[in-house]
A and B are shown apart, each in its own frame.
Chain A
Amino acid sequence: GQQVMQIPQYQHVQEGEDFTTYCNSSTTLSNIQWYKQRPGGHPVFLIQLVKSGEVKKQKRLTFQFGEAKKNSSLHITATQTTDVGTYFCAGPNAGGTSYGKLTFGQGTILTVHP
């Protein structure tokens, strides 16, 4: 079945350092979504990428969708303690349907040391 792999599983950074998490799918994706889950909280939608090679920015966060639409990345510039949490990527299940069944990556747990 479809797999969505995310690396690294854990990332510890000093405040002010940059952070990147990578997402790779075993199948071509029609779109990819990114979510953030704060410690003790629930996932919150960040962004969706649809086009091949698409790049979107949200303040210090930069999201990229690969040319082949099988990989994606999230880059945070100059991390802050408010960036702490788990970042998930998610893509629609393969199968040719338009149902909103998403396959989630394992997530990258980001810790920021002040």
Chain B
Amino acid sequence: DGGITQSPKYLFRKEGQNVTLSCEQNLNHDAMYWYRQDPGQGLRLIYYSQIVNDFQKGDIAEGYSVSREKKESFPLTVTSAQKNPTAFYLCASSIAGRSNEKLFFGSGTQLSVL
């Protein structure tokens, strides 16, 4: 089945540690996104990428980094500079990144701080 796979489902971070969240898609979509979801808030855009080897900051990029070396993969690193990383992280994709395209979401990663 085509879709977006996020791993791990749950992740724990220690103080000062960088952690990487995986996102893989087999939908052949050009555009991929990372959103952060906090209780009672909508989804906030962290980073997005419309093409391999190119990505742009979203609304809350500070403390995060990404790479897009392959079309299928868009990993997100939560660095130690992100002081409040506890949240539900959602990866998404769309066909070409146009504003009238629907997003397909992965099942998410819940990140917690130890």
Contacts and interface: CB of A to CB of B under 8 A. Distances in A.
Task: Tell whether A pairs with B.
Answer: yes
Interface of A: 1, 4, 6, 9, 30-31, 33, 35, 41-45, 48, 50, 88, 90, 92-93, 97-107
B103 A43 contact: yes
A9 to B, nearest CB: 7
B42 A104 contact: yes
A3 to B, nearest CB: 10
B94 interface: yes
Nearest to B105: A42
Contacts of B105: 42-44
Given A98-B99, A100-B101, A103-B42, 11 more contacts: A1-B59, A9-B40, A30-B100, A42-B90, A42-B107, A43-B90, A43-B103, A100-B48, A100-B50, A101-B58, A104-B43
Contacts of B100: 30-31, 48, 50, 92, 100
The range of chain B's interface size is 20 to 34
A101 B41 CA distance: 17
B98 interface: yes
B45 interface: yes
Contacts of A90: 42-43
B108 A42 contact: yes
A62 B102 CA distance: 19
A48 B90 contact: no
Contact of A41 (B31, B102, B103, B107): B107
B50 A99 contact: yes
A101 B90 contact: no
Nearest to A41: B107
